[in-house]
Chain A
Amino acid sequence: MQQGRILFLTGLLAATCAHADTPAPPSPGGVLRLAGTTSAGTLDPQISYMHVTYQVEAIVYDGLTTFPKTPGPADRHAIPDLADAIPTPQDNGLTYRFHLRPGIRFSNGHPVTAEDVAASMRRLFRVNSPTAGPYYSHIVGGDACLRDPEHCTLAGGVIADNATGTVTFHLTHPDSEFMDRLAFQHASILPADTPAHDMGNTAPIGTGPYRIVSYEPTSSMVLERNPYFQQWDAEAQPAGYPDSIHYTFGLDPESEVTAVENGQFDWMEGVPLDRQAEVGRRFAPQVRITDSLNVFYAALNVNEPPFNNLLARQALNYAVNRKAIVIYGGGPTVSVPACQMLPQGSPGFEPSCLYTKGATFEHPAQQWQAPDLEKARDLIRRSGTAGQHVTIIAPSAAGHSAVATDLRDTLTDLGYIASVRTISPVAEFAYIQNSDNKIQIGLTGWSADYPAASSFLQTLFSCATFVPHSDNSVNISQFCNHDIDALMQRAATVAVTDRAAGDTLWAEVSRRLMEQAPAVPLDQARSVSLLSNRVKSDVATAIYGAVFSQFRVR
């Protein structure tokens, strides 16, 4: 199950950017020093759901497919990695047959076999990977594995043939995103004898150009070269430049900025808002601004007054001043006002803004212009909800509290008696998901594990993702519209054979969803990173953000 990880995953899906100097021959060597605020938690690639791990382990592990680690226009589409090609779907999209590249070895010297692939897919269920259910349960046998992970066999679902190096997947229904899901970190291929439990602070063996040789969760992680790595595809898993990578945890972002400015570290991500002007002035060539596929939004509970009233939901969408939201987010350079739940750059995104001054449902604007308080007040009057109490639940982080306070003022302007309740960021996301808490507005964010419209629209607003009484119900709005559900299903099905037609349908889903206004999209954030002057060149891709293996240091 995906998690609302925008707080942790800023930059997970960073837009393509590369900042190479003038062409120069690769000069491997050196130590790359990274600074981070929090550690990576468990290192188990099939369990971890942290941005730090995702970014680091992209150069430690491989899947059958992956997303390109070199920037380019197609770096949001899965490409073959350990497999030698993306297979053509058979049986109307129910069967995929992969053939492994020959000669690839794990960092312990053992060759990668088809059985390793099958075992890794089974292990994914046995260790209760958080995405086992939503991403992989449609592999034949997946349901049984979810029910009884310990005895998971995926019989009939994943068939390995070591002699020919082929692995065949059988699915219960077609899935246009199956290649993306196999490229996700949780489908990393590990040796078949990897213990079927959370490996915690011990990194399992991988196939990438680096291996994790030490890890202290509270202080540091060290990566060194994998002695058995030989580049098989410069796009899928390029050879690395630094001899070793040292990641230090536990610094606050302010200290990280100062340390990178002083050359004590080479990279930090998430320059705090109050330091952005400073780094922009003094260190502009060393600053990287990367787009992210994320959306920060206010979920409106469609089952609780006053937002069980469509007019009230639409009114709040008209009234919210997204100019203020962008300012809270750091200004227009690092924040873009959001008009829909599908972020810019996502497949299926078409510029369309229903709730802005001068727009109508028949003639939406291209982008957000200004709030329309007059229309909002009219809708509130017609809804008959004015005077009701509304409580906004927000994470107790400074930026979120400010947005919540602004929303409270807007609600007050509309005639509600509004208040803000802040909850620790760690607990807030679980709290607002649980329908027992009867929240009215919950402030949160969402970023996708891979670029797909369904990651936002279907995951956040389909009937299936609303689980009453559960802390793990990402459909926070409790929205369930069977017509829109059917349209989402159709879009997913069409995309198996015609991605462009699927994207068109997803755009239609996005528009119809916003007509129902189960949420108030607020903004889409960009990530700001800072490099030291030791870094000669660096690479960032749409999916991984910084690709550390491609950093060259003096």
Chain B
Amino acid sequence: MASLALLACMATASLCAPFYARDIAHTDPFRSNVAGSFTLDGQQIDIMQPDDNPLHLGLSPVGPTWRAPFFLGADSQGRDVAARLLYGGRNSLLIAFFAAALCMILSATVGIFAGFFGGVLDMVLSRIMDIMWAVPVYLFAISLSIVTIAQGLKIGPFTIASDNLLLPIFIIALVYIPYAARVVRGRVMTLRNAEFVLAARSLGVPRFRILMVDILPNVTGSLVALAPLLTALALLTESALSFLSIGVQAPAASWGTIIQDGEGLIYTRPMVAMAPGLAIVLVVLALNVLGDTLRDALDVRDSRRENG
């Protein structure tokens, strides 16, 4: 429950990003503001602060004020980190959720067909999965991103612009298909020889009906248990791609891009990189705990059904 509550909090906070930026911080988190200033305790403060070293070398963005604006400080372009963190959460969570959902749909399709029909179809699909699985996931994702980020993706008459969130969603979903499809295929191969499936076959029930009525509902449990873990993996992958500038594109933000923004400030304003890093850790932790809980719960139900 705690993990669900945490996830709900993060999602709600992210959804409130426009409200925070407009009505609380009174800032535009997508616009450079290095030459700007703000009022704190009645004092006008420059967003970029000179260092007090003898040579007057270096400028640092204002640090956390622990109140709006600049609750978590500013980044190197003078933007409110807290507001960007919330906006970034919207993109990161959205990409992770939809990438995981798309991945589950595709991997369920592949796994069910390969596991249920077997034979040549299984061999072909399994080898394709093996080949995809042989390529390190991040390398695969980075390669696809680099190819598509320059010109976008053109599929027939449809074009997805390079700054469209669909691109990272598709790429992340694709690279994790083998991860989920192998689990589904294994489960389906077990179910294929289960007594209730053999009974249905012997009664002459059409194969499509067996798939929909007997196989799919029993696979759903495994998929649901996988969902949080896939979402966590998708979130981590999205963050990595965005950190490398090949995921979410500027001026939009994601937790990965904010960590990249903070990379150059790690010595002077570590909060810029730490805040999104902490958000990623919390969400991934919550998703993993949720995944474990679901797996335990659903495993029990599946065994009852099989035994029953």
A associates with B: yes
Point out residues on A near B: beta carbons under 8 Å. 272-281, 284, 287, 289, 321, 323-324, 327-328, 330-334, 398, 401-402, 405-406, 409, 528
Whole-angstrom distance between the alpha carbons of A272 and B59 in the complex?
12
Question: Per-residue 0/1 for B101-133: is the Cβ within 8 Å of any A Cβ (1 yes, 0 no)?
Answer: 000000000000000000000000000000000
Whole-angstrom distance between the alpha carbons of A275 and B57 in the complex?
9
Question: Which residues from chain A contact B55 at a C-beta distance below 8 Å?
Answer: 280, 284, 287, 289, 333
A284 and B266 within 8 A (CB): no
Question: Which residues in chain B, 258-303, are within 8 Å of chain A measured between CB atoms?
Answer: 264-268
B35 and A327 within 8 A (CB): yes
A334 and B32 within 8 A (CB): no
Q: A274-B266, A327-B48 known; A528 and B57 CB under 8 Å?
A: yes
User: In this assembly, does B77 line the interface, its C-beta being within 8 Å of a C-beta of chain A?
Assistant: yes
B56 and A280 within 8 A (CB): yes
B32 and A277 within 8 A (CB): no
Question: Which residues from chain B contact A273 at a C-beta distance below 8 Å?
Answer: 58-59, 264
Whole-angstrom distance between the alpha carbons of A402 and B60 in the complex?
15
Chain A: CB-nearest residue to B269: A274
B35 and A280 within 8 A (CB): no
Whole-angstrom distance between the alpha carbons of A327 and B55 in the complex?
16
Whole-angstrom distance between the alpha carbons of A398 and B76 in the complex?
10
Contact of B56 among A275, A331, A398, A406 (CB under 8 A): A331
B35 and A277 within 8 A (CB): no
User: In this assembly, does B53 line the interface, its C-beta being within 8 Å of a C-beta of chain A?
Assistant: yes
User: In this assembly, does B54 line the interface, its C-beta being within 8 Å of a C-beta of chain A?
Assistant: yes
Q: A327-B35, A402-B77, A405-B77 known; A280 and B267 CB under 8 Å?
A: no
Whole-angstrom distance between the alpha carbons of A318 and B48 in the complex?
23
A416–chain B nearest beta-carbon distance, Å: 15
- Given A280-B58, A405-B77, 5 more pairs with CB closer than 8 A: A277-B53, A280-B53, A324-B32, A330-B57, A333-B58
Question: Which residues from chain A contact B56 at a C-beta distance below 8 Å?
Answer: 280, 331-333
B58 and A278 within 8 A (CB): yes
Question: Which residues from chain A contact B53 at a C-beta distance below 8 Å?
Answer: 277, 280-281, 284
Whole-angstrom distance between the alpha carbons of A276 and B250 in the complex?
26
Question: Which residues from chain B contact A287 at a C-beta distance below 8 Å?
Answer: 55, 57
B64–chain A nearest beta-carbon distance, Å: 18
Chain A: CB-nearest residue to B59: A331
User: In this assembly, does B31 line the interface, its C-beta being within 8 Å of a C-beta of chain A?
Assistant: yes
A279 and B48 within 8 A (CB): no
A328 and B51 within 8 A (CB): no
Whole-angstrom distance between the alpha carbons of A278 and B32 in the complex?
25
Contact of B57 among A323, A334, A409 (CB under 8 A): A334
Chain A: CB-nearest residue to B265: A274
Whole-angstrom distance between the alpha carbons of A311 and B251 in the complex?
29
Chosen A-B contacts, 13 in total, with CB atoms closer than 8 Å, are A273-B264, A275-B267, A276-B57, A280-B53, A287-B57, A327-B35, A331-B48, A331-B57, A332-B50, A332-B56, A333-B56, A402-B77, A405-B250
Question: Which residues from chain A contact B76 at a C-beta distance below 8 Å?
Answer: 402
Whole-angstrom distance between the alpha carbons of A281 and B31 in the complex?
31
B31 and A409 within 8 A (CB): yes
Among A289, A331, A332, A405, chain B packs the most CB atoms within 10 A around the CB of A331
Whole-angstrom distance between the alpha carbons of A280 and B56 in the complex?
7
A interface, over-half SS: helix
B264 and A409 within 8 A (CB): no
Q: A284-B53, A398-B264 known; A405 and B58 CB under 8 Å?
A: no
Question: Which residues from chain A contact B58 at a C-beta distance below 8 Å?
Answer: 273-278, 280, 330-331, 333
B235–chain A nearest beta-carbon distance, Å: 25
A280 and B264 within 8 A (CB): no
Contact of A277 among B31, B34, B77, B268 (CB under 8 A): B268
Question: Which residues from chain B contact A405 at a C-beta distance below 8 Å?
Answer: 32, 77, 250-251
A331 and B264 within 8 A (CB): no
B2–chain A nearest beta-carbon distance, Å: 37
B50 and A331 within 8 A (CB): yes
Question: Which residues from chain A contact B264 at a C-beta distance below 8 Å?
Answer: 272-274, 398
Chain B: CB-nearest residue to A271: B57
Whole-angstrom distance between the alpha carbons of A334 and B58 in the complex?
9
Chain B: CB-nearest residue to A322: B35
B270–chain A nearest beta-carbon distance, Å: 11
A328 and B266 within 8 A (CB): no
Contact of B51 among A281, A323, A406, A409 (CB under 8 A): A281
Question: Per-residue 0/1 for B30-61: is the Cβ within 8 Å of any A Cβ (1 yes, 0 no)?
Answer: 01101100000000000010110111111110
Question: Which residues from chain B contact A289 at a C-beta distance below 8 Å?
Answer: 55, 57
Whole-angstrom distance between the alpha carbons of A550 and B58 in the complex?
28
Question: Which residues from chain B contact A272 at a C-beta distance below 8 Å?
Answer: 264
Whole-angstrom distance between the alpha carbons of A284 and B57 in the complex?
9
Question: Which residues from chain A contact B48 at a C-beta distance below 8 Å?
Answer: 327, 331
Whole-angstrom distance between the alpha carbons of A276 and B264 in the complex?
11
Whole-angstrom distance between the alpha carbons of A273 and B31 in the complex?
21
Question: Which residues from chain B contact A401 at a C-beta distance below 8 Å?
Answer: 250
Q: A274-B265, A398-B264, A405-B77 known; A328 and B54 CB under 8 Å?
A: no
Whole-angstrom distance between the alpha carbons of A287 and B51 in the complex?
15
B302–chain A nearest beta-carbon distance, Å: 51
B57 and A277 within 8 A (CB): yes
Whole-angstrom distance between the alpha carbons of A380 and B48 in the complex?
30
Q: A274-B266, A276-B57 known; A321 and B35 CB under 8 Å?
A: yes
A417–chain B nearest beta-carbon distance, Å: 15
Q: Which 9 A-B pairs have the closest CB atoms?
A: A277-B58, A280-B57, A280-B53, A277-B51, A276-B58, A331-B59, A324-B35, A281-B53, A276-B57
Whole-angstrom distance between the alpha carbons of A327 and B31 in the complex?
15
Question: Which residues from chain B contact A279 at a C-beta distance below 8 Å?
Answer: 57
Contact of B59 among A275, A321, A330, A406 (CB under 8 A): A330
Q: A277-B60, A287-B57, A333-B56 known; A324 and B34 CB under 8 Å?
A: yes
Whole-angstrom distance between the alpha carbons of A362 and B59 in the complex?
36
Whole-angstrom distance between the alpha carbons of A298 and B59 in the complex?
24
Chain A: CB-nearest residue to B263: A274
Question: Which residues from chain A contact B265 at a C-beta distance below 8 Å?
Answer: 274
Whole-angstrom distance between the alpha carbons of A482 and B265 in the complex?
48
B32 and A402 within 8 A (CB): yes
Chain B: CB-nearest residue to A272: B264
Chain B: CB-nearest residue to A370: B35
Whole-angstrom distance between the alpha carbons of A409 and B76 in the complex?
16
Whole-angstrom distance between the alpha carbons of A276 and B58 in the complex?
5
Whole-angstrom distance between the alpha carbons of A284 and B55 in the complex?
7
Question: Which residues from chain A contact B34 at a C-beta distance below 8 Å?
Answer: 324, 327-328, 406
Whole-angstrom distance between the alpha carbons of A323 and B33 in the complex?
11
Chain B: CB-nearest residue to A413: B31
Question: Which residues from chain A contact B266 at a C-beta distance below 8 Å?
Answer: 274
Whole-angstrom distance between the alpha carbons of A274 and B48 in the complex?
13
Chain A: CB-nearest residue to B28: A409
A274 and B267 within 8 A (CB): yes
B1–chain A nearest beta-carbon distance, Å: 42
A526–chain B nearest beta-carbon distance, Å: 10
Chain B: CB-nearest residue to A405: B32
A274 and B268 within 8 A (CB): yes
B271–chain A nearest beta-carbon distance, Å: 14
Question: Which residues from chain B contact A284 at a C-beta distance below 8 Å?
Answer: 53-55
